[in-house]
């Protein structure tokens, strides 16, 4: 069966070979023996037992399934931690500038950086470490306990034993202090009466015995543990058996066969054995009461929330990241409460609160109207309630800078302003009635100063007579124009035409001048476009 080089066999030889294999499997014939004299299991499949043809196996063997090549470079040893190979007395060239060791450089030095390195002080030279390189095999690379020293676990045992010893010593000191306080009280009572001395001694002995019993119980509670085999795959765990032996067992509470089912393997009874009994007198109501009360219910809700969140696409897992799942659940509850309160406030704001003492408006109390409103299937208004169109695209009734009226509510001398303070500055701060009074007083003072100055002067200064334009479309022949004033008038006309083309350059307040000179009129006539002129497109 385990031969590799299978020669050609006739039908009869093949049948005999199959019968022999069946007999070996059934135990009727002796098993096949390899070259080392070991028996070959007849139940090994043929594709495993038969050797490849290039090995030229003459006898049945399973050596081709074993590892016949072993690498001599593989080792199971480990690093000699903390070993030193040489201690130098002075600094050597190429050594670490910080500590002076030859096995590493200053960048990889693990010592504390010195203020002045060993290269310059030539003192406190660190020894050279032992550098080793190993080539581990497949198992050695994946052995998590490779290089572990079992002797280090003794420190853990010593630490736990020291803690237990300190606990025992503390408990014993506490018991001795209590006994001393009780003895002092008893000695004071003995001085009062000699008759009660014997009784006090008996009670003292009893209390000492009780203290010893209490101490032994505490020590037993700290020591005694019971190893219980759980149902989870044969694993063991250490738990305390805290059930009082005098309590009645679950299955003895109700001996009726049709009562709550008791599982003897897990010692659990999910249903209530006495459902009709008084709940104040029952001390056990079934194991299900622990599943629907306390933190068990909160844990179920947390688990359900994690499942639902994972189904909706969130990266959450209760077992992999329990802290993250609990934090998300807390945030979810806060957001849910806010949403509920927001919905409640919106409903109360829209429909009102019947429990409140405030009176409802008349429209809500009557709930009737003569207006007919038609709606479509989607709930949109079709007819009966026309929407109020806005008056303009700008904000209306918006008061800024403490004004009580909007800009443009007052007009005087070709200027817009505020009606509340009669100011013509756009973004000024409102001064109210005091500002109006101050402005009027300043205007009166200016008028009085002008009148006083006019009366004080004997002869008025000669004023230049302005030649005002009086012609229409035809220019008189006897007109004499000043060339400088004409050039200035042409520039003003160009600026005016640019402002008319671009409305963004238009100012809030426009100062008008009703006096038009002859030069201004001539500039307007020269810049005017005649639409019937065939050469108007070629003009600048």
pLDDT single digits (tens) 141-165: 888 888 888 888 999 999 999 999 9
Q: What is the pLDDT of residue 399?
A: 84
Q: What are phi and psi of 426, to 5 degrees?
A: -65, -55
Q: What is the pLDDT of residue 43?
A: 92
Residue 274: pLDDT over 60: yes
Count Cα neighbours of 293 within 13 Å in the Cβ-side half-sphere: 6
State the greatest distance between any 2 C-alpha atoms of the chain, in Å, as a whole number.
Answer: 161
**Averaged over 267-288, what is the pLDDT?**
87
Residue 217: pLDDT over 60: no
Residue 428 lies in a domain: yes
Confidence of residue 108 (pLDDT cuts 50, 70, 90): very high
Residue 277 lies in a domain: no
Residue 39: pLDDT over 80: yes
> Both ends of the chain: CA-CA distance in Å?
115
Residue 3: pLDDT over 90: no
Regarding predicted confidence, which is higher, 324 or 387? 324
DSSP 496-524: HHHHHH-GGG--SS-------BHHHHHHH
Domain boundary among 224, 242, 258: 224
Provide the Cα torsion 19, 25, 31, 35; round to 10°. 90
Distance between CA atoms of residues 447 and 463, nearest Å: 21
Q: Are residues 493 and 436 in the same domain?
A: no
Q: Are residues 158 and 208 in the same domain?
A: yes
Confidence of residue 210 (pLDDT cuts 50, 70, 90): low
Residue 266 lies in a domain: no
Regarding predicted confidence, which is higher, 384 or 313? 313
Residue 45: pLDDT over 80: yes
If 0-12 CB within 10 Å is exposed, 13-18 middle and 19+ buried, where does residue 98 land? buried
| Average pLDDT of the residues of the chain | 80
Regarding predicted confidence, which is higher, 411 or 211? 411
Confidence of residue 195 (pLDDT cuts 50, 70, 90): low
**Averaged over 50-77, what is the pLDDT?**
80
Going by C-alpha positions, the residue among 115, 119, 87 that lies closest to residue 100 is: 119
Residue 304 lies in a domain: no
Distance between CA atoms of residues 76 and 65, nearest Å: 24
Residue 435 lies in a domain: yes
Choose the weakest-confidence range: 313-317, 390-394, 461-465: 461-465
Q: Are residues 218 and 164 in the same domain?
A: yes
Q: What is the pLDDT of residue 470?
A: 53
- For residue 215, give the DSSP letter: H
Q: Are residues 162 and 218 in the same domain?
A: yes
pLDDT tens digit sequence for 329-387: 999 999 999 999 999 999 988 887 777 766 766 666 666 666 777 888 887 877 776 65
Residue 55 lies in a domain: yes
Regarding predicted confidence, which is higher, 128 or 432? 128
Q: Are residues 489 and 443 in the same domain?
A: no
Structural domain containing residue 195: 149-224
Regarding predicted confidence, which is higher, 200 or 180? 180
Residue 516 lies in a domain: yes
Q: How far is CA 375 from CA 91, 382, 419, 467, in A?
A: 99, 5, 45, 73
Residue 78: pLDDT over 50: yes
Q: Specify the number of domains making up the chain.
A: 4
- For residue 79, give the DSSP letter: -
Residue 269: pLDDT over 50: yes
Does residue 253 contact residue 274 with C-beta atoms inside 8 Å? yes
Burial 307-324 (b: 16+ CB within 10 A, else e): eebeeeeeebebeeeeee
Residue 378 lies in a domain: no
Going by C-alpha positions, the residue among 412, 406, 442, 427 that lies closest to residue 512 is: 412
Q: Which residues pair with 239 in a beta bridge?
A: 226
Residue 5: pLDDT over 50: no
Q: Are residues 488 and 534 in the same domain?
A: yes
Q: What is the pLDDT of residue 232?
A: 47
| Tokens matching residue 501 | 């083309």
pTM for the predicted model, two decimal places? 0.25
Domain boundary among 447, 469, 493: 447
Residue 237: pLDDT over 60: no
Q: Which residues pair with 412 in a beta bridge?
A: 415
Distance between CA atoms of residues 182 and 201, nearest Å: 12
Q: What is the pLDDT of residue 363?
A: 60
Domain boundary among 208, 224, 240: 224
Confidence of residue 493 (pLDDT cuts 50, 70, 90): confident
Confidence of residue 412 (pLDDT cuts 50, 70, 90): confident
Residue 503: pLDDT over 60: yes
Q: Which of 128-137, 322-331, 438-447 has the highest mean pLDDT?
A: 322-331
Q: Is 413 left (phi over 0), alpha (psi -120 to 50) or beta?
A: left
Q: What is the pLDDT of residue 233?
A: 47
Q: What is the pLDDT of residue 186?
A: 81
Q: How far is CA 19 from CA 15, 29, 60, 114, in A?
A: 6, 10, 18, 85
Residue 211: pLDDT over 70: no
Residue 193: pLDDT over 70: no
């Amino acid at each position: 069966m385990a031969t590799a080089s299978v020669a050609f066999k006739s039908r009869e030889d093949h049948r005999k070979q199959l019968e022999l294999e069946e007999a070996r499997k059934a135990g009727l014939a002796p098993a096949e023996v390899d070259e080392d004299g070991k028996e070959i299991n007849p139940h090994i499949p043929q594709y495993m037992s038969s050797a490849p043809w290039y090995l030229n196996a003459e006898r049945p063997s399973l050596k081709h399934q074993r590892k016949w090549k072993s690498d001599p470079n593989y080792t199971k040893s480990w690093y000699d931690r903390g070993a030193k190979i040489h201690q130098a007395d002075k600094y050597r060239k190429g050594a670490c500038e910080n500590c002076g060791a030859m096995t590493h450089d200053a960048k990889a030095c693990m010592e504390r950086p010195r203020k002045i390195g060993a290269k310059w002080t030539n003192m406190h030279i660190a020894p050279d470490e032992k550098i080793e390189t190993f080539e581990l095999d497949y198992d050695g690379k994946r052995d998590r306990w490779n290089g572990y020293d079992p002797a280090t676990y003794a420190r853990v045992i010593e630490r736990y034993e020291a803690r237990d010893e300190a606990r025992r010593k503390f408990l014993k000191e506490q018991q001795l202090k209590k006994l001393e306080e009780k003895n002092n009280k008893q000695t004071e009572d003995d001085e009062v009466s000699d008759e009660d001395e014997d009784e006090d001694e008996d009670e003292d002995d009893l209390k000492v015995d009780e203290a010893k019993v209490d101490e032994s119980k505490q020590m037993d509670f700290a020591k005694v543990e019971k190893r219980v085999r759980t149902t989870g795959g044969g694993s063991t765990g250490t738990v305390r058996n805290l059930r009082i032996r005098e309590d009645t067992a679950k299955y003895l509470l109700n001996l009726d066969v049709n009562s709550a089912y008791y599982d003897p393997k897990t010692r659990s009874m999910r249903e209530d054995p006495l459902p009709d009994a008084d709940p104040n007198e029952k001390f056990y109501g079934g194991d299900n009461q622990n599943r629907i009360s306390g933190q068990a219910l909160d844990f179920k809700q947390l688990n359900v929330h994690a499942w639902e969140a994972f189904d909706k696409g969130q990266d959450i897992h209760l077992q992999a990241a329990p802290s993250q799942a609990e934090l998300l659940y807390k945030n979810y509850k806060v957001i849910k409460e806010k949403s509920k309160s927001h919905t409640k406030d919106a409903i109360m704001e829209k429909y009102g609160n019947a429990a409140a003492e405030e009176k409802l408006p008349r429209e809500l109390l009557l709930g009737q109207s003569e207006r007919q409103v038609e709606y479509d299937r989607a709930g949109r208004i079709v007819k009966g309630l026309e929407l109020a169109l806005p008056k303009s695209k700008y904000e209306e009734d918006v008061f800024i800078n403490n004004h009580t009226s909007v800009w443009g509510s007052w007009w005087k001398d070709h200027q817009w302003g505020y009606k509340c303070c009669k100011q013509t500055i756009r973004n000024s701060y409102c001064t109210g009635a005091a500002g109006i009074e101050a402005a009027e007083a300043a205007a009166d003072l200016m008028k009085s100063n002008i009148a006083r100055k006019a009366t004080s002067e004997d002869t008025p200064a000669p004023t230049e007579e302005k030649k005002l334009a009086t012609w229409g479309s035809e220019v008189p022949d006897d007109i004499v124009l000043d060339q400088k004033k004409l050039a200035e008038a042409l520039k003003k006309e160009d600026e005016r035409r640019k402002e008319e083309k671009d409305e963004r350059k238009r100012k809030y307040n426009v100062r008008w001048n009703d006096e038009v000179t002859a030069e201004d009129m001539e500039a307007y006539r020269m810049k005017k476009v005649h639409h019937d002129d065939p050469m108007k497109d070629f003009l600048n």
